[in-house]
Structure formats: structure tokens, C-alpha cells
Amino acid sequence: MFFWIQNGISTQRLPEPRPVQVPRIENSSSVQIAPRFKEGEEQIPTEGNRADSRPGTLFGSQSPAKAYQDSNYSPEPSPILFAGQVMSSPVQSLSETCNLKDARDFLLEKRFRHIPITNLESQITGIISDRDIWRYLSESENGLSVPISSLMVKKILTGTQNTEIRTVAKVMLEEKIGSLPILGENRILIGILTRSDLIRAMVRFPGFTLLA
């Protein structure tokens, strides 16, 4: 489940409606009608309806046992993973009272690409990316003293621990975001999921794939 957080207000993200596919109507001229046979008239076997009279070839070149095995074969399902298993936790964040100098030093030390911003109750109030920080500092001579609360993104998409990872990847792709904060009770920040975490999951868990 996903929620938009903005100014302390939580709103559930509704899934995008699926496109309706209209069934295709075939041209009547392309429909093949089976030939009719008069009563007592014998149908002449053709390549399409000929049954092989050799023993064990009722299913073509396969034996009945082999054909039965193939019909019941299904590949092993990919493991199901949830955000709580893959997320990075505990989360390192910055207080909304910090300035860009604090954010710059934090980036240089941690090498993160996204920094969650929290209030005194550890509730997420925003997020800021390394690109936004470096861009602003390159354009402003006195940018280090600017509070990060004035630059951070204040409408944040968040998820919960029990959200399935394939759903997380799909939503991150749809919303064009590189990270997803994970919240616990009372909107407390307990983890974060990034593209790197998704790739790491495919390496750590054999058989796991992001393909449904």
C-alpha cells in the first residue's frame, strides 16, 4: 500500500486504471469452414486431421506419458519478497532544521543519492536529492546557509513494510522516483527502498525476479 505525505496529511495512492482491450473481430473472409460430408461418405484423411496409427503416437511424436508430464509442467514460482525484507534500515536522515551545508557534508560522508528529511518526532516531512543540492550550490554563492526545508520535495510517496517488491518496482517506475521511504506506525520513518536495493534483492535471493 502506498501513501502520499504532504504537510503532515496522508492520502492513499490509488492504482492507475487498467486500459480496456476491445476484442478483435476477425474478417469473415478469413474464417475457414469445415467441409461437410454426406451420410455414408467417408472422410479422406489429410495432413491436418490424420491420426497416426502407430502405437504410442496418439499425441504426435510424444508418448502419452511425456505429453501428460508436459501438460502438467509449470516453472517454479519466483520467491515473493516484501519491502520489509529488502529495505535499508535503520534510515539515516536529516532534521528539517538543517541547512544545505549540513546536507552537503552528509552527502560527502555517506555517498547517498536521496536524503529523507524528518521532524522531531521522526516523521518524514520531505526528501531531497543530491542533484538538487549540487545544482543549487553551483548557482548560489551563499547557498550553504539556506535551510533544506526550502528546497526539499514536500509531497512524498511512501510505502509500508508488507508491500510486495514487484508492486514497489512498478509504482517507482510509474512515478519516476528513485527511492521510496517506508513508514511504520504514526508515519514514523523506518526504512527506505532504492533502485540499488531492488537490484541487490535479485542477487541475494536466488530465483527472484522483478518480472511478474
- Summarize the confidence of residues 123-133 as an average pLDDT: 94
d(CA 188, CA 210): 27
- Summarize the confidence of residues 97-120 as an average pLDDT: 94
d(CA 32, CA 114): 61
Query: What three-state secondary structure class fits 136?
Result: helix
CA dist 146 → 68, 99, 113, 135 (Å):
70, 5, 19, 13
d(CA 73, CA 143): 62
Residue spans of the domains in the chain: they are 83-204
Residue 73: pLDDT over 70: no
* 163 vs 206: which has the higher pLDDT: 163
pLDDT confidence of 17, banded at 50, 70, 90? low
The one-letter amino acid code at 167 reads T
- Summarize the confidence of residues 84-105 as an average pLDDT: 94
Concatenated DSSP letters of 57-76? -TBTTB-HHHHHHHHT--PP
pLDDT confidence of 146, banded at 50, 70, 90? very high
**Percent of the chain with pLDDT strictly greater than 70:** 69
Residue 75: pLDDT over 60: no
- In this structure, are strands 2-6 and 155-159 parallel, antiparallel, or unpaired? antiparallel
Across 48-52, 54-58, 64-68, 79-83, the highest mean pLDDT is recorded for: 79-83
Q: Where are the alpha helices (DSSP H) in the chain?
A: 64-71, 83-86, 100-110, 130-139, 165-175, 195-204
Confidence at residue 202, expressed as pLDDT on a 0 to 100 scale: 85
Domain covering 83-204: architecture: Roll (3.10)
The mean-pLDDT minimum among 13-22, 23-32, 50-59 falls in 50-59
- Summarize the confidence of residues 129-141 as an average pLDDT: 89
Residue 49: pLDDT over 80: no
Q: What sign results for the dihedral spanned by CA atoms 184, 190, 195, 200?
A: negative
